[in-house]
Structure 1
């Protein structure tokens, strides 16, 4: 049946790219990824999406991590929450005032993907535990790395075990199949402040020094299915 590489401890969905996410007990997963994940983004007048970095597709917009969002079951328009956790009545008007930009709007994904790379990110408790051991004075939380899945790994699992999954598929009891391809290259968002997590630039420096600036395992979805907290993930 394959080796059990971990048990799903937490599931995270990020309805609006680069803002805080929502924890789920279960979710449908299709070839695009977790239903509703990064379905919306803050888009500027040039068509670039708010992010922690500036590239051809993305524009750095500081402060987005202080916001969060949640979706209903029908994946209709998200509820955007301000830094105090209160719902915003008019997301686009709020974002224009909050960011000091008149050219931004909350936009649903169309022809251009909102994902940086691949649709599903998985991080292990083994890797998080290592990071806590080398940065004992820093608040380490998986929210800094924005995984879709936090996987509870067996005792004794070495850090960065995610690297060994690359090139392999993994399945759950429902038949959901992920195919791991590579790790995320990290940016300044790992140390950016967000509710409950202070500014911590030492996190990115540590990942760069010890692991070539990469952390997690990125996967594509090769067979859809439902995913729930407590599901075992088996490497094929």
Structure 2
């Protein structure tokens, strides 16, 4: 039987992931997922592990619906409260999308600048200012927060185990930053799924996920592996049209609840 074996949320884009036993879904994906993002204070460009691998060690956790706590090695905890959705707005770009979203304030920026050693700002994504998913794949105008493009990402547990065997060492699932992990399917079975049901929630798999240098960063220490794995192995086995793919992007109906251990049914 197929089942949902893990749920992961990333409150801060490119920050540390957290495993959840249960999560609500709202219009943008898992509740609270990737609602915060760092940008360069001067250029306005978003910052991620691609440029700053140490962000893998930057922990952001929701204290409650209105407050986030930041933690990082060698730093005292820093709490950040939701900014007003329509004030202190900053312009930024995320993979071609123009965004105008609120800034979280000087205290959060100063804390982050001290740890990262560079000028930056922390931004928040209110639902009302979310961007639309690529219109080539959306059918109902679905929107997303500060994800790379889609509200949810799914990976099969046996796909990771197959890739680990090819690389020659166990790989951490968090290298690939999925939201949902499904257990019990053959390796890469998710490549052929179009619609699934997890518990009572129906989801559409719309596009394979292209992978980048972030997969080579060890989530335990925030350092890139010198052998560039698993990206090199993915290039040999999962290359298509100049991109390497691992995992599937999903769209969802907007609301629902997902729980670890829930049965997974392939509808199409």
The TM-score, its normalising length taken from structure 2, stands at 0.74
Q: Which residue of 1 aligns with 2:173?
A: 142
Change (3 A) 1:43 1:227: same
Q: 2:70 aligns with which of 77, 80, 90?
A: 80
Q: Distance in 2 between matches of 1:225 and 1:189?
A: 30
Q: Which residue of 2 aligns with 1:211?
A: 238
Q: Distance in 2 between matches of 1:131 and 1:210?
A: 9
Q: Distance in 1 between matches of 2:45 and 2:188?
A: 32
Q: Distance in 2 between matches of 1:183 and 1:196?
A: 28
SS at 2:78 equivalent: coil
Structure 1: stretches of 5+ with no match in the other structure:
54-59
Pairing 1:232–2:263 present: yes
Post-superposition Cα deviations, 1:93-121, rounded to whole Å, max 9, x if no partner, equal 2211222222x122111435411011100
Structure 2: stretches of 5+ with no match in the other structure:
80-106, 132-144
By how many angstroms is 1:224 displaced?
Answer: 2.1
Q: Distance in 2 between matches of 1:192 and 1:61?
A: 10
Q: Distance in 2 between matches of 1:84 and 1:12?
A: 25
Conserved in 2, the CA contact under 8 Å of 1:28 and 1:225? yes
Q: Distance in 2 between matches of 1:115 and 1:40?
A: 10
Conserved in 2, the CA contact under 8 Å of 1:15 and 1:69? yes
By how many angstroms is 1:87 displaced?
Answer: 2.9
Pairing 1:51–2:48 present: yes
Q: Which residue of 2 aligns with 1:162?
A: 190
Q: Which residue of 1 aligns with 2:224?
A: 199
Post-superposition Cα deviations, 1:144-197, rounded to whole Å, max 9, x if no partner, equal 00000111124xx1x2112101xx2211333x1211011111011001133257
Conserved in 1, the CA contact under 8 Å of 2:16 and 2:60? yes
Change (3 A) 1:86 1:14: farther
Q: Which residue of 2 aligns with 1:95?
A: 112
Conserved in 2, the CA contact under 8 Å of 1:83 and 1:195? no
Q: Which residue of 2 aligns with 1:15?
A: 11
Conserved in 2, the CA contact under 8 Å of 1:139 and 1:197? no
Q: Distance in 1 between matches of 2:222 and 2:165?
A: 18
RMSD over aligned Cα, in angstroms?
2.1
By how many angstroms is 1:208 displaced?
Answer: 1.5
Q: Distance in 2 between matches of 1:84 and 1:133?
A: 36
Pairing 1:172–2:198 present: yes
Runs of 4+ in 1 over 6 A off after TM superposition: none
By how many angstroms is 1:73 displaced?
Answer: 4.3
Larger mean CA deviation between 64-73 and 19-28 belongs to 64-73
What is the aligned residue count?
217
Q: Distance in 1 between matches of 2:166 and 2:32?
A: 35
